[in-house]
Amino acid sequence: MSSNFRSARPPLATLLASTLLVSGCATLPSSGPTGREILKSQATPDNVLGFHVVQLTDAQSLPLQPKEETEPLMPTATRDSINLLGVGDTLQVVIYEAGVSLFASSGISQGSVSDTGSAKGQTLPPITIDETGQISIPFAGRIRADGMTTYELQEVISSRLRGKSQSPQVLVSIANPVSQAVLIGGEVTRPGRIVIATGRETLWDSITLAGGYRGDPSDLIVRLTRGSQILEERVSHLARSSVKDTRILPGDRIQVYRQPLTFTAFGAPGKVDQFAFGKEDLNLIEAVARVGGSNPSAGDPSAIFVFRYVAEDGVEKPVIYYLNMKKTGSYFLAQKFAMKAQDVLYIGNARSNQPSKLIQIIGQFFSPFLMIRTATTAN
């Protein structure tokens, strides 16, 4: 039976040739180009993107960290307008009258609020400023309340009631100040409306009043929308920047949403995947450690690359940063190299592992025949 096995077995040359022909370029599976190939590629006609390689050799070769400046939002409301009435506000109106009460006798009031000798206060049912900015007061008619202060509205109602009621005195308060509120949603504990009570509330105050944010601050972005203007800041940076002191105004919309900082690792690291920063500031040495370093059997620690788009004169241009981590000083430089969101960390494929890959292919190809022969011999 063993002779039959030998006659059925293809010659080694035939098997190897067949393997090479069938697998083609995948004969020597590679996790990507070697470091030398990347360095050479910038000067080839195939570089249609026009990328260039920056070799990190000293502190001067490190990319400059742009100073992040957030343009403040232009206010759409003045400090005085914060105390003005607006559409949607619900008002509480109390009318004091001397002698016989016009409102009590008509059955409109909700009951006596107070009794100060000859004057009695009658509370009207809650009144909401409609979409036209007006309210209706019995015996006073339709009144435009939008844009008024409570004091001004009190005077208008009192003047309308004179001659119909004895010495009318009016008190107006805001039961539900819808127009004097901002909306906050997303990754906060209590999303909803926040009333601007003093006119001094800030962006950071609004997050606090909503019960605080939920999640890792380095993964969250706060967006403040005011009319057509938008201000965005990562929560972890907001806590220590002047942006947190931005005054919020009526009508502002605040959204706290999740957008983790991530980078992607390719080539021959310990693990190919997308990785979260885990904090706001991540340097290259930490990124390399996070992916498990250079694969001992496939990677080349002298070929560490970071692929990134860099804005130059308002145009994004592709740049590859190159670091040789076989040099001792590179570990210091890597600590100063700040990773950016959407960076691609590439660890070059080692040239020396190609023969070993060929041996593995041949070994995997022959292993079924060896198993068959062993089983046949045993029988």
Q: What's the pLDDT tens digit per position in 229-281?
A: 888 889 988 888 888 888 888 889 999 999 999 999 998 888 889 999 888 88
- What CATH code would you report for 190-258? 3.10.20
Range list for CATH 3.10.560.10 in the chain: 35-55+261-354
Helix (H) or strand (E) segment spanning residue 334: helix 330-336
Annotation: CATH topology of 35-55+261-354: Outer membrane lipoprotein wza fold like (3.10.560)
> Quick one: CATH architecture of 90-176?
2-Layer Sandwich (3.30)
Whole-Å CA distances, 30 to 47, 297, 326, 360: 21, 12, 22, 13
pLDDT, greater one: 168 or 256:
256
Section 349-362 average pLDDT: 54
3-class state of residue 7 by DSSP = helix
Range list for CATH 3.10.20 in the chain: 190-258
d(CA 124, CA 144): 18
* pTM recorded for the entire structure: 0.64
**pLDDT band, residue 155 (cuts 50/70/90):** very high
3-class state of residue 219 by DSSP = helix
Region of poorest pLDDT, from 14-23, 149-158, 216-225, 327-336:
14-23
